[in-house]
Amino acid sequence: MAVDPKSLLDVFLNLREFFAQKMHRDPSTLFFGTNVRSDGNFTPAAWSQLAGEICNLPWANAHNLSLPPATMDALSTLSDLSNVIWDEINNTAPAPPAAAGG
């Protein structure tokens, strides 16, 4: 289950869960250095589209994560992704709470 990331490790664990589901793999087989781009056999277009999917994950959305699709070109491993996302989370303000409906 994904958690609100308070550390680089939390980001990694959230991404590991996401990619394990995408790739139909046991999360314990994915490590910090795992090249999920090649292991998942993502086409360049599919890899770029993952930026939007990642940003729409609840934990990422809560931090207003912005990951332009072009950024994905330079990323391949869970380490690459985790570091870029952790840096982005630390440089953005959390999303405002949803307005109470009435």
The pLDDT value given to residue 91: 84
| Higher pLDDT pick, 79 / 4 | 79
Average pLDDT over the chain reads 90
pTM, whole model, 2 decimals? 0.86
18-90 domain in CATH 1.10.1200? Answer: yes
Residue scoring higher pLDDT (62 or 30):
30
DSSP line for the chain: -----SSHHHHHHHHHHHHHHHHT--GGG--TT-BHHHHTT--HHHHHHHHHHHHTSHHHHTTT----GGGGGG--BHHHHHHHHHHHHHTSPPPPPPPPP-
pLDDT tops 90 at residue 92: no
Domain spans of the chain? 18-90
Q: What is the pLDDT of residue 5?
A: 84
| Mean pLDDT, residues 48-62 | 94
